[in-house]
């Protein structure tokens, strides 16, 4: 194919105790630096996000269900999130204050 842009298909699937907690698929086009990824979260533990929350939270627990899409050129990515359910407990700071929430959207 003359002039065809390279495209790398991306696929990620986790299996924990027989259940898929995270599934993602999409593609990346290096010539245009464009990415399009769709992810599905199924009772994914919030402890996976602790490194990103370390400046505001000392401990997290709970799970998230929903869909995430990340797309666009790498320098102008668009993130869309649809949370179906969120069960969360976060310990904030040194005083062991907790925030608890359980919602369905």
Q: Give CA–CA dist 86/66, Å, rounded.
A: 9
Give the predicted TM-score (pTM) of the model. 0.67
Pull the structure tokens for residue 15: 């299996």
> Strand, coil or helix: what is 48?
helix
> Which residue has better confidence, 47 or 86?
47
Provide the 10 A C-beta neighbour count for residue 80: 10
In angstroms, rounded to a whole number, what is the distance separating the alpha carbons of residues 83 and 53?
18
Does residue 57 carry a pLDDT above 80? no
For residue range 64-104, what is the model confidence (pLDDT) as tens digits? 899 999 999 999 999 998 988 777 776 666 554 444 455 55
Burial category of 26 from C-beta neighbours within 10 Å (exposed 0-12, middle 13-18, buried 19 and up): middle
First and final C-alpha spacing in the chain: 46
Token pair 């990340």 is at which residue?
70
**CA atoms 22, 19, 16, 48: torsion sign:** positive
């Amino acid at each position: 194919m003359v002039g065809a842009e390279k495209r790398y298909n991306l696929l990620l699937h986790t299996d924990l105790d027989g259940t898929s907690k995270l599934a993602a698929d999409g593609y990346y086009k290096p010539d245009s630096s464009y990415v399009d990824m769709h992810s599905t979260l199924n009772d994914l533990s919030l402890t996976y996000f602790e490194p990103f929350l370390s400046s505001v939270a000392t401990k997290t627990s709970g799970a998230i269900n929903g869909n995430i899409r990340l797309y666009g050129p790498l320098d102008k990515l668009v993130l869309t999130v649809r949370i179906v359910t969120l069960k969360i407990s976060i310990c904030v700071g040194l005083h062991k204050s907790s925030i608890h929430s359980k919602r369905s959207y």
